[in-house]
Structure 1
Amino acid sequence: MTADPSHRSVASNRDYAIGLARAFAGALIFAFPLVMTMEMWWIGFSITPARLLVFLLLGLGILVGLAYYSGFEPADRVSDAVLDGFTAYGVGFLGLGLLLWLLGVGTEDMGWRGWIGMIAVQAIPAGMGAGAARKQFGGGESRGRDDRAGYPAQLFLMVAGALFTAFNVAPTEEMILITYQMSAAQVLGLAALSLLLLHLLVYTVGFAGQEQWPEGVGFWPVFLHYTVVGYALALLVSVWALWTFGRTDGAALPLVAMMAVVLGFPAALGAAIARLVV
């Protein structure tokens, strides 16, 4: 006996509405640190149009990729993932716009350019929260990523996690202040700690969702192929975030490298966490 098509349609619409509600909740939870950061309120004025365009294009690409692995609706085809990723961005954009208005951050004095620019940038991490909401708030119904997450996919998830955590602190003045306060030995020590924590969080400490050690593979192949490569990606994401927010403008290469290591610490933690929660 087949189900009534009208009943299937109602159930499908209800499931989609629930997915949107989860996405909205995930967007607000993931993005509220940015919403309450003063530097992010003025990012619409400080970021250049070219950098904003690059950030949005790459950010939307990451949202589409996350939708393919853990969207708030099942994405069995690439076209579904594209729609899911843009929907997540739209949910983040609308949710942040409403929240910023309620908090009195968005005012008429900002003008449309500052207002739209501020929301457009912050909607990327909000969209990441919307995209991850299905697994985190889905009551166990979400599809696991293990059926699709080969080595390139795992590296992609690291990039997504690194971007999210780096983005939370990259615009702040503290990144520059911390860098100036550190010695070369402290910078090297922070890099070593970042590598260690990245490896421990993914493989050793026993968190739920932790990666299983590849059978028959020794320590060094795993450390080099996953931990070292993951940390290198975290550093690249850090440089990109610093460039996006103008922190590299006029800075000497050694200073940029030191800032990347400083920002690479939270980025490495985000890379590790992404592989546990997405």
Structure 2
Amino acid sequence: MKSHNRHPVTNSAQKAFKKEIRDAIKGVSSGFLFGIPLLYTMEVWWIGSYAEPLQMLIALLTNFVVVFLLIRTEGFRGTTDTKIRDASIDSIETLAIGFICTALTLVLLRQIDLNTSINEAVGKIIFESVPFTLGVAVANSFLSGDREGGTNTPPSSSPQSKTAEINATLADVGATSIGALFIAFTIAPTQEIPMLASAMTPPWLLATIAASLLISYGIVFVAGLTNQARRYQQQGLFHRPINETLVAYIISLMAGLLMLWFFHQLSLEDPWTVWLSHAIVLGLPATIGGAAGRIVV
């Protein structure tokens, strides 16, 4: 009898664990959508580098209060009747998600390394994580969607289906381009891209590519944001998640290069290695912008 009663408990625990992971992924994805532009802002790096402990504490407490109020309204779990104790726990978890993702991104961008002092690293993480944690907190309010109902419907060979495939492909290419251009336009004119690219060695560039693809895939196909179920029914070049992620990344890189050339950050005289490194560095936020564009079409 005891072994027979374990299965409902186990299934319930598994469902709760899966929901917890899904909520965390949704929060991370929303955090990147909100926080990536500020992560490419050197003025915030400097503020974090020279902030005093008291300033860090004030920023941390202020961030916690705002996140707590957002969680009480409707946090990334989608619960409107959250008790104060539960909201406090969720707020701490939200801050933790923001701190971890911000720290990993700053390490990826070479703004935190083994030579960075603890005080400087903590300051950068606290100040850079503010929009990130706000994005995590409002994930369900602004970017929730139904994960269910998505099926991998095979495309038909009828003329109407071919036309639908072309239209769907053009819509996704357009949405990706608009989202990528929007983010790249705000970052490309700044000096952050050349500064970051100059510090990137090939292994770090490869890591940035991997992070861009992983975050893009998570936002569109894992996090359950907006109309995610429809993404699995797309046809054309974007019919499968892996294809969509790779094609969208290439489009985002092209959008980033266009903006870098437009703002005279790159010229035809520059070697291809400079073009490549700049494109990969700007490709991270541009890819996130492209993913944002696709989840709202």
Q: If the TM-score is normalised by the length of the shorter chain, which range does it land in?
A: 0.3 to 0.5
User: Which structure has the bigger radius of gyration?
Assistant: 2
TM-score, length basis structure 1: 0.47
TM-score, length basis structure 2: 0.44
